[in-house]
Structure 1
Amino acid sequence: MSENQNLLAEQRRALIVDEVRRRGGVRVNELTRKLGVSDMTVRRDLDALARQGVLEKVHGGAVPVVEASTHEPGFEAKSGLELTAKEDIARAAAELVAPGSAIALSGGTTTYALAQHLLDVPDLTVVTNSVRVADVFHAAQRSSGQRQGAATVVLTGGVRTPSDSLVGPVADQAIASLHFDLLFLGVHGISLEAGLSTPNLAEAETNRRLVQSARRVVVVADHTKWGTVGLSSFAKLDQVDTWVTDTGLPEQARAEVSEHVRQLVVAGEPEAADRDADEAPDDDAES
């Protein structure tokens, strides 16, 4: 199978997951019409998504997985979801980072994508409790040598979670003594009532320490995290300076979030100023 076909499969499966979550369930024949593919292709996609644990196959279609608030998906299960959204978010978030900054990246597949966009930002100090994020920087340094301006990476200790984050008292103590210009947080869920939440109690405490040590808190989370609530909340929406998300976030949610978060960045959309310029009347055309 070619690389283009792989990409199309990823996009198609992301659309299937969105449809299942939005409607509460779909039938195979509905998906074949919507996506313009065969029954066999849809059934293969549903099989793959069911193995990842993101939906449940039923006779003739699929329904969302009903997850307990303590359910914590592993890194691999999450890494194949919302790939385009995560890439857009990572690219937009990287623009917030100035050379020479001290930044922190929490665990998560979106912060992992962000790390790959930060490799060319010079003289960063990166503190992370994510084994995967640290590996991105270490792999780049091994392949290119210890080049001038390469990031200094500090990996906290701690107990490893299913999402390959290091949490617990060791991580908490290390983070409490540090201060970051920017914190980039991946989250399990985000909502008006619960704020930022995770199914892992120890990770919640470690994330609280990260938030306390940051001058500016940036959440990087795609639209599917909106309305999801994990077992433990670790920050209120009012503590978030910026949320970088994707175009899938509904307009109503954007309005609600904007009342609490200082800045909402929708990756993949033009800035407000650009939109205003595009919508402004052409004076020459009116004269």
Structure 2
Amino acid sequence: MLATQRQERILAEVRAHGAVRVADLVAALDVSDMTVRRDIAELAGAGLVRRVHGGAVAPETPARSTDEPGFEAKRTWASAEKAGVARAALADVEPGQSLALSAGSTTWLLASMIAADPALRPLTVVTNGLRVADVLHGADDVEVVLTGGTRTPSDALVGPVADATLASLRVDRAFLGVHGLDTDGPTTPNLAEAATDRALVRCAAATTVLADHTKWGTVGLARICGFDEIDTLVVDTGLSADARTHLEAAVDRLILATPAPVTGDAP
């Protein structure tokens, strides 16, 4: 199928339903995730659709900075890119460390990789992510500390209890998953989660942010922190040249990860 034919199909779906997911287009068109994203980018450039996290919507659809998708929805979006980002971030994990992992689908993938690799242990992992804690539960020589708190739709524990727990701790490195990323830094649609994420960053000697390239340009309601509080940012190679130029100047270390396949419930 030619690019023009694919784009006509994508446009027809958006006009018929108001929105379309990248994952659904990959299956329907039998092409790669990256091909679909390029087609959407061309349509967006022409003003025919608007790019959103995980797909495209009609151009007149308003962006909502308070949208908070659940974990099961998020884990299917840009899964190969997220796996590549998590794999690259794994290089910063060393035996004997204390780590803080935020809630999120990419940090869940990182936790899955940690659980599968005995060479990385012993470890202590502090987390406000229920899915992160679940995947690490039972792994030998991994002590898991849950923050406590109030549960969000994305299975994060947030609020005063979580914030107080994190304020009392000090860890070697935090790994922070984010909803959106723009020129001002990472964001989330949940005000309480933003506060808990800030507490997670403050308790760490160093912070690595994990964000697949589709997060760039997505802006949540609440800002988490500035780039000056992040020493490492891991994104995938789908990041645009303009975004790469900005981020190379904004953070100490920018890592571009190659997308990787994900099979089963975890790597």
Q: Provide TM-score, normalisation by structure 1.
A: 0.72
Whether the 8 Å contact between 1:24 and 1:64 is mirrored in structure 2 is no
The one of 80, 88, 92 equivalent to 2:88 is 92
Distance 1:156 1:15, change over 3 A: farther
The one of 81, 102, 108 equivalent to 1:106 is 102
Paired position in structure 2 for 1:168: 159
- Aligned Cα root-mean-square deviation (Å): 2.6
| Structure 2 Cα separation of the partners of residues 128 and 134 of structure 1 | 7
Paired position in structure 2 for 1:20: 40
Identity %: 48
| Structure 2 Cα separation of the partners of residues 64 and 54 of structure 1 | 15
Q: Provide TM-score, normalisation by structure 2.
A: 0.77
Q: Secondary structure at the match of 1:118?
A: helix
Distance 1:231 1:247, change over 3 A: same
Matches within 5 A, 1:133-282: 133-138=132-137, 141=138, 147=140, 150-192=141-183, 194-268=184-258
Paired position in structure 2 for 1:83: 79
| Structure 1 Cα separation of the partners of residues 173 and 127 of structure 2 | 12
Distance 1:21 1:64, change over 3 A: farther
State the aligned residue count.
225
- Shift in Å, 1:195: 1.2
The amino acid across from 2:122 in the alignment is D
The amino acid across from 2:78 in the alignment is E
Larger RCO: Structure 1 or Structure 2 (Cα < 8 Å, ≥ 6 residues apart)?
2
Q: Secondary structure at the match of 2:77?
A: coil
Q: Secondary structure at the match of 1:254?
A: helix
| Structure 2 Cα separation of the partners of residues 15 and 175 of structure 1 | 41
Q: Secondary structure at the match of 1:115?
A: helix
- Shift in Å, 1:78: 1.0
The amino acid across from 1:106 in the alignment is S
Distance 1:166 1:76, change over 3 A: same
Matches within 5 A, 1:16-55: 16-17=36-37, 19-20=39-40, 23-24=43-44, 54-55=55-56
| Structure 2 Cα separation of the partners of residues 189 and 238 of structure 1 | 17
Distance 1:98 1:232, change over 3 A: same
Q: List gaps (5 residues or longer) in structure 2.
A: 1-23, 47-52, 260-267
The amino acid across from 1:82 in the alignment is A
Whether the 8 Å contact between 1:53 and 1:77 is mirrored in structure 2 is no
Q: List gaps (5 residues or longer) in structure 1.
A: 1-5, 27-51, 57-61, 270-287
Q: Secondary structure at the match of 1:103?
A: strand
Whether the 8 Å contact between 1:20 and 1:64 is mirrored in structure 2 is no
Higher CA-based Rg: 1
Distance 1:249 1:13, change over 3 A: closer
